[in-house]
Structure 1
Amino acid sequence: MTEPDVPPPLPEEPETNHYRPSGQQWLLVGFIVAFGAGFLLYHGLKDNGLGQSAALYVGIPVVIAAVVTLLSPAKKPVGTAMKVTTILLLLSVPVLGEGACCVLLAAPLFYLFAFLTAEAVATARRRRGKSAGPAAFVIPVLLGLLVLEGATPALTPRADSVSSATRIVELPAGKVAAALSLPMRFDSVPRTGILALGFPTPQHDSGGLDIGMSRVINFDGAHHRSGPVAQHHWGTQRSALTLRIATRTANSVTFIPISDTSPMATWLRWDQIDVSWKPVDDHRSEIRWQVNYTRLLSPSWYFGPIERLVTWRAADYLIRGIDTGNVAGHSYHPSAQ
């Protein structure tokens, strides 16, 4: 018997290890890409006059969350997107020069749209190969419409608003005009609530209440940042709000803004300030401080209530700043017009 022919053994192929990035590496890539996209979008919108629009406050978190969710293979992409958003918000202070006040007030908006976008993208990835539900079309359209507020006039609602505050002060009605003509006592009135978050601090008021004269309120500058940290976008120089006394009656005065170089000019535009008062009894008066302004930040449904709160608190702060203690023996006599 002859042995059957046995084929020669095949040569062994060398083992090849295909490199596959780990989940942590993909997360790092997503973070870097998200940071770069957010950085470029931020400066692009700022340079084109859209720094106060929803394109910035809605568009940036949408882009960041979409990039992170698409590049992250983590089991919980939504949680990962929220963590990356938190890190980028913290980095916006030293890298972009944003103030803590701005970051705190904008953070809820960033988290909301980062969550909605990450959840939408993650759901789309899980349903890959399946028929897309109506949400796959509704959510992108809705986000697109929200992003365009402040950038497209047709999608931007009216921005004029009014806030007012009222207080009863220990001062006869006949002395209120004299008190208003004195410089405000900003140094002895603490700022509380939302005003204490980091808004510019008024330092000096020129005083005066004659029709046609200018009244100047000076503000301090932002703290200087040393080293490689980006300088505060408000600047370290002092700023001022200049008002003109437009009308005067026995129980009211109207201020019209002439110029505003304070950081608040990026949030809103003052249109008119009306101060009126009436007697409560022989020793007390009720003072009403009303501010008419135009909101500059979008989206309106988010920043509208915030600006109403800030302007209401500012009006109340100004009433408390009236120098009622140095009016004894001082009477206001308007100059001849």
Structure 2
Amino acid sequence: MTLDEEPTPQRTRAHVILAALITLFGLVVFIVVVRQGRADSAVLFVALPVLLAAAIALTPARTAHGRVFAITTVALLLAAVALHEGAVCVILAAPLVYAVAHGTTALIRALRDASRPYVIVAVPLLLLPGLEGSGLAPRVAPEQTVEVTRVVDLPADQVAERLAAGPRPTAVRSVPLRLLGVPTPVQVSGDGLDLGDRWMFGYHGSSHGPGGHLLAEVDEVAPGRLGFRFTEDSSITGRWFTWRHAELSWQEIGPGHTEVRIQVDYTRGLDPSWYFGPVQQVLLGAGVGHLLDMLALR
């Protein structure tokens, strides 16, 4: 036996029966979650990986973590197909799913190898963080705000002129957006700074369906400030978050220098909050920065 191998645990009927019951329960939970429209809750990203890892860890194997990795990878790819998600969803969720699966495996095997009875109690305790957004537990702070501030080398009146011209398609400069392949608008139209003026952001379609579009309408006008409400959203990003309101303001802070600020309120679509909250905050911050690029405010 090499140092990398784990000693083969003794096969017991109780372990096999428990693993089978956990697997069956996991399948039932998956079906219920999908049918009830809770596929964005923490159940999918935390609870189900816990059940999968627990079932594998309770069965004898020389390299349990290797099997967990392989089966978790297959499960992620199958979920991407079954739930009509793209590669970006799998990439974003994978670190969380792998961490939960391998953490559960390590704990279950440690308790089992120590011949402790706590192994049965560990599974329901590990499932608790996976209840967020499932209906059994409330969502934690789903309404979030992202703010981006940029100082441009333009006087305030020229900033207003560029804003009035509306956004235009431009290459994505943000490294996170490019690396992850996050959908960005490819068809952009609209202009004006008056009440009722509209800006439209269109997205490319994919094999999973049309890319859709996002329509923003000016609903507040004040000196150096605009407010936008979102009247239509059929965009491909609507699965992950919902736009609520946006505010765009600009103020000259010195000769030829203007500070531009965009604040966007949105509702996070994915749970758990402790993982997807910061992830979406970073990605939407990059997306708002891309909007400033489309407004020629670099």
Bucket of the pairwise TM-score, normalised by the shorter protein: 0.7 to 0.9
The answer on whether the counterparts of 1:37 and 1:64 sit within 8 Å (CA) in structure 2 is no
Separation in 2, partners of 1:269, 1:107: 22
Matched residue type, 2:281: R
The answer for the alignment partner of 1:113 in structure 2 is: 100
- Between stretches 177-186 and 39-48, larger displacement belongs to 39-48
Structure number with bigger Rg: 1
- Percent sequence identity is 32
Cα displacement (A) at 1:324: 5.7
Paired amino acid for 2:101: A
Q: CA deviation at 1:144?
A: 2.5
Aligned to 1:87: 74
- Equivalent position of 1:279 in the other structure: 252
1:51 matches 2:39: yes
Contact 1:200-1:221 within 8 A present in 2 as well:
no
Q: CA deviation at 1:90?
A: 3.9
In the aligned structure 2, how far is the partner of 1:106 from the partner of 1:315? 22
Which whole-Å CA distance do the structure 2 matches of 1:201 and 1:35 have between them?
39
Aligned counterparts of 1:198 and 1:36: Cα–Cα separation in 2 = 35
Using structure 2 for the length normalisation, give the TM-score.
Answer: 0.83
CA distance in 2, matches of 1:91, 1:263: 20
DSSP 3-state at the match of 2:58: helix
Matched, 1:190 2:199: no
Unaligned runs of 5+ in 2: 1-10, 12-20
**Structure 1 position 154, deviation (Å):** 4.5
**Which of 216, 234, 248 is residue 243 of structure 1 equivalent to?**
216
Determine helix, strand or coil for the equivalent of 1:58.
helix
> Does structure 2 retain, via aligned residues, the 8 Å contact 1:252–1:274?
yes
Query: How far is 1:37 from its partner?
Result: 8.1
Matched, 1:220 2:207: no
Which is further off, 42-51 or 169-178?
Answer: 42-51
TM-score (norm 1): 0.74
Question: What SS does the aligned partner of 1:280 have?
Answer: strand
Give the AA of the match of 2:48: I
Question: What residue is the counterpart of 1:312 in the other structure?
Answer: 285
- The alpha carbon displacement at 1:45 in A equals 1.9
- Check conservation: 2:248, 2:261, Cα contact below 8 A: yes
Mapped pair 1:150 → 2:133:
yes
Q: Structure 1 residues 176 and 34 mapped into 2: Cα distance closer, same or farther (>3 Å)?
A: farther
- In structure 1, the partner of 2:18 is none
Question: Pairwise mapping of residues 129-148 of structure 1 onto structure 2 (< 5 A)?
Answer: 130=116, 132=117, 137=121, 139-148=122-131
Find 1:176's aligned residue among 159, 163, 188.
159
> In structure 2, what is the Cα distance between the partners aligned to 1:191 and 1:40?
44
Aligned residues: 278
Contact 2:23 2:55 (C-alpha < 8 Å) held by counterparts: no
Gaps of 5+ in 1: 1-22, 24-32, 225-231, 326-337
Q: Cα distance 1:316–1:109, how it changes in 2: closer, same or farther (>3 A)?
A: same
Alpha-carbon distance, 1:54 to partner: 0.3
CA RMSD in angstroms, aligned pairs only? 2.8
Mapped contact 2:216–2:228 kept (Cα < 8 A): yes
